[in-house]
């Protein structure tokens, strides 16, 4: 991954040196244990200071005259299945999407993804041979490490989850291209920008190959969860290629189901989600979605429109937010630096998003988790980043630095570095 | 139905009398046609005056200190899949439900219903033999006339829709009890109070029989859409028996999926929906729902809680709203009264809800719809109240009086009575 730090050292210590080091570190660890801490590095949640940046959303003037859409529709009432045109335009301006491709949903993009896949199971998708639930032995590509909630949906729906390793440039495309020669392979989960949990962004060539590849399944789908689309720490954020433009070029526009939301722009507990897709996909989706609901919450769309006003304002808002999050990442990376050169850990140093992926000495992730718990720090369970919750190497830990306060985070990540060292020394023999 | 007016007369006219009457009425009709009207009796939507009664919901003080739940949870953030406990309590107080049975959703109860049925299709339900999508030839009972959006969901999911006639007391229970002896019959749609479109309420004995009946299918489900739960015109509203209490008595609590929402209490475009179900159903539901979303919009729950404060306030609010709606129903019934004794129409006179069902001379509903259209008044398409959109008798029209202003409604329902007469005379021969 980008930003990974090269390693050496603990293996070069003698057993006696390891024992002495272990004993000193264990004393340090015990001091933390005695502090009665209760800290949490497991949740990809904004903290209160971040949420306060969007507080204006709650005091938007929603008096009667402001309850109407640009077109004069009373948004308090029924109507508009696919979202207000002005909401589509705002998303389009921010995300570089065709507004005509957009369907605005409720507060959860995950729910939109689940909806797309359950519709595929029950009714099929354009280009396919019917409901996926009628086919046997379907498989789904999971870029690993990846997002547990993605994996869980396809696991529940009965897909066999097939791991493809994440590289600096995104999924290992040689492997992906090989897998999609199997007509049973129906799709792939992607978090293309600041991927969860590795924090890297797919290279232009990776996006191109995803858009261009030959798939044996005629109705293969890329679940393109651009959750961290504008979640740069500063203006030097990663740039993601336009998958719709590339897919168009290769005649594969129907392949893309695109998702995003304002959950980590405004409020996870009351944001606005969207999906974007080709006309054929959209018409098929709206036909079923129109049986599912009369429409999503339009007043919350109006509230978001009034709060942001323009794409520029939203991007400026994200830079403010990015600055706050960067501090958290800096604290974390700074404490992980004590692992530098020890040959027992690698980690990512993203330029945006919500997560850092930490690879510890194989076979020690579970032990690190246990040590952290002993000191009162909750980590995401090891394995969560892998299909079926199982990391065969027991080495990957997802670090979510945003939720604790700066002080808590500093303590928690010092304990993290310490636990990684202790677990490594145990593994090497003390 | 309750309130139906007895009929006689047009059939007793001579052909000449009919011709003279037709000619006079046609002149009256043509005058309306020349007025260039554009009126709508098709939409079960509140009008602006009704929406204004809930306008305070939009100016609830949502400053920072009010963004927290009673338990201290920051509702701007992730968390709480099944709804805030205080929101469950409010719904429980209003609806007489056990708060533990409730799951609070997004803005759409229809979406919760669709969710329950798609989960049943893909994963099965407690007591069943697995995913319903693996079974062939499934059937669903549709009380007719009924709600087109209900019928559409089960049609899309591939059920054969089986009609059961609505009686004054609710569904014809002899027919229902006979049908559920077939293990292929998986469930029934019910709008038990102020049913859409007939406006009647199931009798206690009907609710008891639904709760008690022996079903051949071990996982039969009653979709209990109590959309008009507190939508009485005045304090003398209909009383609906407690289906959960009755189902408990007969050991059939798992049979009930209960739904409601504030769509017609506050805003269709931004309300709060709920479902309620037994523990077994709830646990099975939450297991899948937890893969679908991290949680619904909690800020809108807080907003509703702050706006209402208590069940008493919500019920008082509904009486205010009921008064406004009653005026619309009175105008409609008053104009339909000119059909009294003519032997060409029957209609319901509900004590709450949103709809009136009008039965015209068999074979003339389509013609009435056409005549209305000619005069610039949109009616719900005939057949919409029946499975597959087909009314074999071509006689039932759903009248939605709430959306037009009082003046518009008066004109539209005068034209309605006129069109019913014209169509009947055409049918009888002029």
The DSSP string of A322-368 is HHHHHHHHHHHHHHHGGGTTSSSEEE---SBSS-EEEEESTT-HHHH
Q: pLDDT digits over A43-91, tens only?
A: 899 999 999 999 999 999 999 999 999 999 999 999 999 999 999 999 9
- Could you tell me the pLDDT band of residue B424, with boundaries at 50, 70 and 90? very high
**Cβ <8 Å between A291 and B149:** yes
**Contact A70/A83 with Cβ under 8 angstroms?**
no
Residue pair B318/B232 in contact (Cβ under 8 Å)? The answer is yes
Residue B63: how many CB atoms within 10 A of its CB? 9
How confident is residue B39, by pLDDT bands cut at 50, 70 and 90?
A: very high
Q: Quick one: which of A225, A142, A192, A166 has its CA closest to A348? A: A166
**Per-residue pLDDT for A420 more than 90?**
yes
Q: Which tokens sit at B285?
A: 């539901």
Q: Answer whether B337's CB lies under 8 Å from B347's CB.
A: no
Residue A109 pLDDT exceeds 80: yes
Within 8 A of A64 by CB-CB distance, chain B residues are 52, 55, 58
Question: Which stretches does DSSP call E strand in B158-265?
Answer: 160-167, 170-171, 185-190, 221-225, 256-261
What b/e sequence results for A337-348 when a residue is b if at least 16 CB atoms lie within 10 Å of its CB, and e otherwise? ebbeebbbbbbb
What is the DSSP code (8-state) at residue B159? P
**Under CATH, which architecture does the B10-51+315-428 domain have?**
Alpha-Beta Complex (3.90)
pLDDT at A139 over 80: yes
C-alpha–C-alpha distance, residues A288 and A119, integer Å = 8
Label the pairing between strands A256-261 and A273-276: antiparallel
Q: At CA A278, angle to CA A276 and CA A279, rounded to 5? A: 115
More confident residue, B187 or B236: B187
Residue A9's pLDDT is 87
Q: Closest Cα partner for A368 from A422, A298, A314?
A: A422
What is the pLDDT confidence band of residue A4, given thresholds at 50, 70 and 90? Answer: very low
Q: What is the pLDDT of residue A43?
A: 86
- Smallest Cβ–Cβ distance between B77 and the set A121, A157, A269 belongs to A269
Q: Where are the alpha helices (DSSP H) in B190-278?
A: 204-212, 243-249
Cβ–Cβ < 8 Å for B124, B285? no
- The closest alpha carbon to A232, from A354, A395, A117, belongs to A354
- Cα separation, A356 vs A353, in Å, equals 9
Average pLDDT of span A234-251: 96
- DSSP for B337-400 reads GGGTTSSSEEE---SBSS-EEEEESTT-HHHHHHHHHHTTEE-PPTTTTSGGG--TTS-EEEE-
Q: Which of A76, A122, A269 shows the shortest C-beta gap to B299? A: A269
Mean pLDDT of B82-103: 98
Which of A51, A288, A294 shows the shortest C-beta gap to B74? A51
Q: Reply yes or no on whether the pLDDT at A8 is more than 90.
A: no
CA distance A298 to A76: 7
pLDDT of A7 above 90:
no
- The DSSP code sequence of A179-221 is HTTSTTEEEEEE--SS-TTT-----HHHHHHHHH---SSTT-E
Which segments within B220-344 are labelled E, that is strand? 221-225, 256-261, 273-276
Mean pLDDT of the B248-257 span: 98
Give me the pLDDT at residue B9, please. Answer: 87
Percent of chain A with pLDDT over 70: 98
A267-286 mean pLDDT: 97
What is the per-residue pLDDT across A371-390, written as a single tens digit (0 to 9) for each?
999 999 999 999 999 999 99
- Rounded mean pLDDT, A236-245: 96
B88 and B102 Cβ atoms separated by less than 8 Å = yes
| CB contact at 8 A, A271 and A262 | yes
* Residue A430 CB coordination number (10 Å): 16
Q: Which tokens go with A205?
A: 């060539």
The C-alpha angle A179, A240, B296, rounded to 5 degrees, equals 85
Confidence of residue A428 (pLDDT cuts 50, 70, 90): very high
Sign (positive or negative) of CA dihedral A45, A49, A51, A53: negative
Pairs from A334-341 (Cβ < 8 Å, separation ≥ 24): A334/A413, A335/A410, A335/A413, A335/A414, A335/A416, A335/A417, A336/A413, A336/A416, A336/A417, A337/A5, A338/A417, A339/A5, A339/A417, A339/A420, A339/A421, A340/A5, A340/A7, A341/A5, A341/A6, A341/A7, A341/A8, A341/A9
B366-395 residue pLDDT tens: 999 999 999 999 999 999 999 999 999 999
Model confidence at A227: pLDDT above 60: yes
Residue A271 contacts residue A280 (beta carbons within 8 Å): no
Q: Which of helix, strand or coil describes residue B223?
A: strand
Q: What is the rounded distance in angstroms from the CA atom of residue B333 to the CA atom of residue B346?
A: 11
Q: With an 8 Å Cβ cutoff, is B298 touching chain A?
A: yes
Predicted confidence band of residue B43 (pLDDT cuts 50, 70, 90): confident
Tell me: pLDDT of A400 over 70: yes
Pick the CATH number of B69-309 from 3.40.640.10, 3.40.50.300, 1.25.40.10, 3.30.70.270: 3.40.640.10
**What's phi and psi for A260, nearest 5 deg?**
-165, 180
For B36, other C-beta atoms within 10 Å of its C-beta total 8
Chain A (141-170) residues lying within 8 Å, Cβ to Cβ, of chain B: 149, 152-153, 156-157
Query: Of B46, B270, B273, B321, which to mutate for an interface test with A (greatest number of A Cβ within 10 Å)?
Result: B270
Write the residue in A110, A267, A291 that is nearest to B152 by C-beta.
A291
Q: How far is B166 from chain A (nearest CA, A)?
A: 23
Rounded to an integer, what distance in angstroms lies between the CA atom of residue A319 and that of residue B331? 57
pLDDT at B4: 41
> Roughly how many angstroms between the first and final C-alpha of chain A, as a whole number?
31
- The CATH-assigned architecture of domain A67-309 is 3-Layer(aba) Sandwich (3.40)
A2-11, B94-103, B120-129, B174-183: lowest mean pLDDT where? A2-11
B112 contacts chain A (CB < 8 A): no
- The rounded Cα B34 to chain-centroid distance in angstroms is 35
Tell me the per-residue pLDDT of A147-197, one tens digit each, with 9 for 90 and over. Answer: 999 999 999 999 999 999 999 999 999 999 999 999 999 999 999 999 999
Cβ of B387 under 8 Å from any chain A Cβ?
no
Tell me whether B15 touches chain A (CB under 8 Å). no
**Token representation of residue A179:** 């897998």
Give the closest-approach CA distance of A55 to chain B in angstroms. Answer: 7
Find chain A residues with C-beta within 8 A of B62's C-beta: 58-59
Number of alpha carbons in the 13 Å side-chain half-sphere of residue A99: 12
CA distance A19 to chain B (A): 43
Tell me which residues of chain B, numbers 17 to 56, contact chain A at a CB-CB cutoff of 8 Å.
43, 45-46, 48, 51-52, 54-55
CB contact under 8 A, A270 and B76: yes
Instruction: Please count the other Cβ atoms lying within 10 Å of the Cβ belonging to residue A251.
Output: 10
Its pTM stands at: 0.96
Answer whether B291 touches A (CB < 8 Å): yes
Q: Is this complex's ipTM strictly greater than 0.90?
A: yes
Q: Which two tokens stand for residue B338?
A: 């000119």
C-alpha angle B234-B240-B244 in degrees, rounded to nearest 5 = 145
Name chain A contacts of B51, Cβ cutoff 8 Å. Answer: 74, 76-77
Q: What percent of chain B lies above the pLDDT cut of 90? A: 97
Mutate: best of B293, B301, B400, partner A, most A CBs <10 A? B293
Query: What is the average pLDDT across B194-201?
Result: 97
d(CA B286, CA A100): 34
At A51 the pLDDT is 97
- Beta carbons of B246 and B280 less than 8 angstroms apart: no
Burial of B320 (0-12, 13-18, 19+ CB in 10 A): exposed
Separation between Cα atoms, residue A144 and residue A197, nearest integer Å? 9
Domain-wise residue ranges, chain A: 10-51+315-428, 67-309
Task: Return the pLDDT at B34.
Answer: 96
**Sequence-separated (6 or more) residues with CB below 8 Å from residue B82:** B88, B102, B103, B104, B282, B286
Nearest residue to B203 (alpha-carbon basis) of B234, B228, B166: B166
Q: Is A41 helix (H, G, I), strand (E, B) or coil?
A: coil
B236 in contact with A, Cβ within 8 Å: no
| Residue closest to A147 by CA, chosen among A264, A44, A241, A240 | A44
Would you tell me which residues 76-105 of chain B have a C-beta closer than 8 angstroms to some C-beta of chain A? 76-79
Q: How far apart are CA A150 and CA A173, in angstroms?
A: 19
Average pLDDT of chain A, as a whole number: 96
Task: Please answer whether residues B213 and B188 qualify as being in contact, where contact means their C-beta atoms are separated by less than 8 angstroms.
Answer: no
């Amino acid at each position: 991954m980008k930003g990974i730090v090269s390693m050496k050292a603990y293996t070069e210590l003698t057993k006696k040196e390891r024992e002495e080091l272990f004993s000193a570190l264990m004393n340090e660890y015990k001091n933390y244990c005695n502090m009665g801490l209760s800290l949490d590095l497991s949740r990809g949640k904004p903290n209160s200071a971040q949420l306060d940046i969007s507080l204006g959303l709650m005091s938007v003037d929603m008096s009667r005259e402001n309850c109407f859409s640009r077109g004069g529709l009373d948004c308090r009432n029924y109507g508009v299945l696919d979202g207000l045109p002005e909401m589509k335009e705002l998303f389009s301006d921010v995300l570089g999407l065709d507004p005509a491709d957009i369907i605005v949903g409720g507060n959860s993009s995950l729910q939109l993804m689940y909806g797309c896949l359950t519709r595929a199971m029950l009714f099929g998708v354009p280009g396919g041979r019917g409901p996926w639930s009628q086919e046997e032995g379907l498989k789904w590509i999971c870029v690993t490490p990846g997002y547990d909630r993605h994996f869980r949906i396809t696991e529940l729906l009965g897909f066999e989850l097939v791991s493809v390793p994440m590289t600096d440039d995104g999924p290992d495309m040689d492997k992906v291209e090989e897998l999609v020669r199997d007509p049973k392979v129906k799709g792939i989960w992607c978090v293309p920008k600041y991927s969860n949990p590795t924090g890297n962004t797919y290279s232009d060539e990776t996006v191109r190959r995803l858009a261009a590849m030959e798939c044996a399944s005629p109705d293969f789908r890329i679940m393109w969860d651009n959750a961290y689309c504008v979640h740069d720490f500063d203006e030097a954020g990663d740039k993601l290629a336009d998958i719709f433009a590339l897919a168009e070029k290769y005649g594969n526009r129907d392949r893309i189901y695109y998702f995003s939301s304002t959950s980590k722009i405004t409020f996870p507990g009351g944001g606005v989600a969207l999906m974007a897709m080709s006309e054929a996909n959209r018409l098929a989706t709206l036909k079923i979605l129109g049986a599912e609901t009369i429409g999503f919450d339009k007043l919350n769309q109006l509230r978001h429109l009034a709060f942001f006003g323009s794409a520029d304002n939203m991007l400026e808002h994200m830079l403010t937010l990015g600055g706050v999050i960067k501090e958290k990442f800096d604290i974390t990376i700074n404490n992980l630096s004590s692992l530098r050169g020890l040959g027992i850990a690698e980690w990512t140093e993203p330029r945006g998003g919500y997560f850092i992926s930490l690879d510890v000495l194989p076979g020690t992730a579970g032990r690190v988790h246990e040590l952290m718990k002993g000191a009162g720090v909750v980590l995401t369970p090891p394995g969560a980043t892998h299909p079926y919750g199982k990391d065969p190497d027991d080495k990957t830990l997802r670090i979510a630095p945003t939720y604790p306060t700066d002080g808590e985070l500093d303590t928690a990540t010092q304990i993290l570095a310490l636990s990684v060292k202790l677990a490594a020394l145990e593994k090497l023999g003390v």
